[in-house]
Amino acid sequence: MRALAPRRGDPRAGQPPVSTTRRGAHRWLGALILLLGAAGADARPATWTPGQPGESLEVSLVTVGPGEVYWQRFGHNALRVRDAASGAEALYNYGIFDFAEENFFLRFLRGEMTYELAARRPADDLGQYRAEGRQVIEQALNLSPTQRLELARYLAWNTRPENRKYRYDYFLANCSTKVRDALDAALGGALRASTDGRSRGYTLRMHALRLTSPDLPVYLGVHAGLGPTTDQPVDFWDEMFVPMEVARHVRDVRVRDDADAEVPLVAAEAVLLKGRVPEPAAPPGWIWRFLALGLALAAVLRWLGRGNGARRRGFGALAGVLWLLCGIGGLLLLFLWFGTAHHATWRNANLALFNPLCLALLPAAWRALRGRAPASRAATWIAAAVASTAFLAWLWLVLPGHRQDTLDWIALWLPVHFAAWRALRRPAG
């Protein structure tokens, strides 16, 4: 295991998740921070028998909200453990990765990333989050002395070189799910019992889209790249791949103290830093924008395709750009499905809309750019196949049992593909 180096980074929240400790390192990378907070309005501390091992320990959950840069959109979290007797403290961060790892970028693309846990000083990150304008909250937790001690021992054991690495998955095994699992183990399963099976009907895609919506290119890439496994409603337990969801759900957990009284898990909560970047509450409903753009592009293609001279060259330029974008997008979706371990991108029905066959239509666009008639028998049949595949994507969407949210992309690409086919089928004389 190589030592920490100047190129080392740490993502802020899961994972297309996170940010690095060094600015500009990667879109899915980040860090964390911490200090003890003031009491929450409706929480009260638990009563524990004096003299128990672990009594001097304090445990809190630290949550960092979204930032303005794309890799900060998903937030971040960590666990802070402080010994009140000695003053020693550590912030346990499951978002560490190493740029110097062999074949780092290839492993990143293929979904074979290795992340690890590191213990950091809380004060090291506070200035960075203040400069980024990100909200930071800290929740002091009502763990029993025994639970605090066991959690501290587990985290210390987990930071050993032979134990600290894990296989990263954005939805299933990221910095936030690791924090969730460590807390649940310390609570004897109380966190899972409080959240398992309860749902508001959200899907993994909905969370990903709401958090990326302020950054349109990232939003579009995520929306196109995710497959049907992200469109199943998930319960609160699975929602906690998002760090801010962990902070929300721990507020609902109740535990019992030594007097057998029921108390909230969150004994105190404080806002350490006020953020200037709000967290989107819901995914945007942009279906009408997709449809309006698709119809507008289709109308322009039809008008240009019926003309000669400049209009014909205009058709070649616009159709060429759309076919190139569509074809390359389709190749990327194929790579994500068959060439990577990103399970969330497999079996993607958007391949029927981002059709790689569009690349075979580029010669027709080139002929139109040169002022020649773009149509040929082969091009017309390819365009018909592309349009028919897009229609089948819409037909599949309305059939019972459909599980992927493709309506936005159907609204955009279906009119475009049909307009392009019609223009090739009946070119200007």
DSSP 122-149: THHHHHHHHHHT--EEEEEE---HHHHH
Q: Which residues contact 388 (CB under 8 A, 6 or more apart)?
A: none
Least confident window among 204-213, 322-331, 418-427: 418-427
Whether the Cβ atoms of residue 283 and residue 214 lie closer than 8 Å to each other: no
27 versus 84: the higher-pLDDT residue is 84
Q: Does residue 64 have a pLDDT over 80? A: yes
Q: Which residue has the tokens 């649940």?
A: 184
Q: Band of the pLDDT at 398, cuts 50, 70, 90?
A: confident
Give the integer Cα–Cα distance in Å for 379 and 381.
Answer: 5
Distances (CA, A) of 165 to 31, 61, 114, 159: 17, 21, 6, 9
Q: With 90 as the cut, is the pLDDT of residue 263 above it?
A: yes
Residue 299 reports pLDDT greater than 80: yes
According to the model, what pLDDT value does residue 215 have? Answer: 93
* pLDDT of 202 above 50: yes
Q: Is the pLDDT of residue 5 over 90?
A: no
pLDDT at 98: 75
pLDDT exceeds 70 at position 22:
no
Contact 361, 323 (CB under 8 A): yes
Q: Report which of residues 377 and 382 the model is more confident about.
A: 382
pLDDT higher than 90, residue 12: no
Q: What local confidence, expressed as pLDDT, does residue 285 receive?
A: 94
Q: Which residues pair with 60 in a beta bridge?
A: 80, 140
Residues 102-107 have a mean pLDDT of 78
Taken in order 226, 228, 229, 230, the sign of the CA dihedral is positive
User: What is the total residue count of the chain?
Assistant: 429
* Rg (alpha carbons) of the chain, rounded to whole number: 26
How confident is the model over 318-341, as a mean pLDDT?
A: 96
Computed over every residue of the chain, the mean pLDDT equals: 86
Residue with the two structure tokens 């200007």: 428
Top-ranked range on mean pLDDT: pick from 91-100, 252-261, 342-351: 342-351
% of the chain beyond a pLDDT of 90:
67
Pick the range with the lowest mean pLDDT from 64-73, 230-239, 282-291: 64-73
Choice between 212 and 11, residue whose per-residue pLDDT is larger: 212
Can you tell me the distance from the alpha carbon of 8 to that of 6, in angstroms, rounded to the nearest whole number?
6
Residue 128 has pLDDT above 90, yes or no: no
Of 9-18, 230-239, 388-397, 418-427, the poorest mean pLDDT is in 9-18
Residue 43 is predicted with a pLDDT of 65
Average pLDDT over residues 141-161: 95
Token pair recorded at residue 261: 């009284």
Average the pLDDT over 160-186 and give the result: 95
- Model pLDDT, residue 427: 57
| Model confidence band, residue 175 (pLDDT cutoffs 50, 70, 90) | very high
| Contact predicate 383/352, CB 8 Å | no
**Confidence band of 377 (pLDDT split at 50, 70, 90):** confident
Angle CA(288)–CA(300)–CA(356) in degrees, nearest 5? 75
Sign of the four-CA dihedral 408, 385, 221, 13 = positive
In the three-class reduction of DSSP (H, G, I as helix; E, B as strand; rest coil), residue 116 is classed as strand
Least confident of 51-60, 285-294, 351-360: 51-60
Amino acid sitting at position 376: S
Write down the pLDDT at residue 396: 87
> How high is the pLDDT of residue 107?
82
Question: How far is C-alpha 324 from the chain's CA centre?
Answer: 27
Nearest to 197 by CA among 254, 244, 267, 249: 249
What is the C-alpha to C-alpha distance for residues 30 and 4, in angstroms, rounded to an integer? 16
